[in-house]
Amino acid sequence: MILVTGGAGFIGSNFVLDWLAQCDEPVINLDALTYAGNLENLASLQGDPRHIFVKGNIGDFDLVAKLLTDYKLRAVVNFAAESHVDRSIHGPEDFIQTNIVGTFHLLEALRARWGSLEGEAKAAFRFLHVSTDEVYGSLEKDDPAFAETHRYEPNSPYSASKAASDHLVRAYHHTYGLPVLTTNCSNNYGPYHFPEKLIPLVMLNALAGKPLPIYGDGQQIRDWLYVKDHCSAIRCVLEAGRVGEVYNIGGWNEKPNLEVVHTLCAILDELRPRADGKPYKEQITYVKDRPGHDRRYAIDAGKIERELGWKPAETFESGIRKTVRWYLDNQAWVQNVASGAYLNWVGKNYGERQ
């Protein structure tokens, strides 16, 4: 069995669904169910004995230790994290507690369990820590993409907390020998994405006739990775990655935010045109940029392709069309997620930037 932490969040739930679609190895799913954790993402697994959900926090040493022992887990994949830059600017403490302190307690539980194993079970045990390209900082337009050797230069409380967690994971490997793997991914998109992030926020606002807020000039560049491609890469690293190594996972899809929004508007014009016949791009509005906004991220995913044979299956064009169709076909999920608390957050974050 494997343990997936943060398995009710966006990427984590996609990974759990993908894992159980690919194999019958059971999953223990540990999630604290904060605002972005949503069991509705996993509704299709209700009654499936291969999926065991446990509500809890990675910072709970006793709980994690009990799960590791009781279920004789062979691997842990850690998605649990506070992950929204804007939220980290408004309130960084939760990011410090979950991403740094929580990771520390998780590592301590793993170290204790791994130290008690013997023989083949000890040799086969793995801890895969899922991180982000944001730990590397920001690139100029013509800079080469982030490789695994790029130095860490985090620029937000979120990315700084993730950088700290990466360093802890590295240290536990080099100091204690814990068999770790780290992945740093680019911007994910796809089904079950919480609608505070750019792509689902734009779709939600577009269909509701609301403004489509663009930070600054909209020319911030990101590399876009379809979430199901990310899941396949993590499976690949978990199966064959070299212990102690870092693997960057990207989609080879650098796009300015404004281009992404224009693409979304064009697809919606085709699939769900406005009643008045006008284009959705008329709803675009520019708001004050957020503090310290990184200008460009780009992932060089050459290492994982060379060593493990992985590369993304989706182009941005194919992945974004699948994403729009999923949101249009799952409006009940969207409405359930878009709670009063979420709407209050959007008003707070974007209202003050008008």
Residue 91: name the closest of 345, 353, 351, 285 by CA.
345
Cα–Cα dist 138/300, whole Å: 14
Gap between the Cα atoms of 104 and 108, Å rounded: 6
Active site annotation includes 158: yes
Single out the catalytic residue among 82, 134, 196, 223. 134
Q: d(Cα 277, Cα 304) in Å, to the nearest integer? A: 45
Instruction: Using the structure block, give the residue that is written with the tokens 């050459």.
Output: 302
Residues 6 or more apart from 130 whose CB is under 8 A from it? 11, 77, 78, 79, 81, 183, 185, 234
57, two tokens: 């926090």
Q: Do 97 and 158 meet the contact criterion of CB atoms below 8 Å apart?
A: no
* DSSP collapsed to 3 states, 40-52: HHHHHHCCCCCEE
Output the CA–CA distances (angstroms, integers) from residue 150 to 145, 154, 184, in the order listed: 9, 12, 12
Interstrand relation of 187-189 and 221-226 (parallel, antiparallel or unpaired): parallel
Query: Both tokens of residue 183?
Result: 């992945």
Reported as type and span, the H/E element at residue 53 is strand 51-55
Helices 257-271 & 198-207, crossing angle to 10 degrees? Answer: 40
Respond yes or no: is residue 133 known to be catalytic: yes
Residue 147, judged by CB atoms within 10 A of its CB (0-12, 13-18, 19+), counts as middle
Among all chains, which residue has been given the structure tokens 């004050």?
A: 288
Selected catalytic residue, list 31, 82, 86, 133: 133
What secondary structure letter does DSSP report for 136?
Answer: G
Known catalytic residue: 35?
no
Which residues are part of the catalytic machinery? 133-134, 158
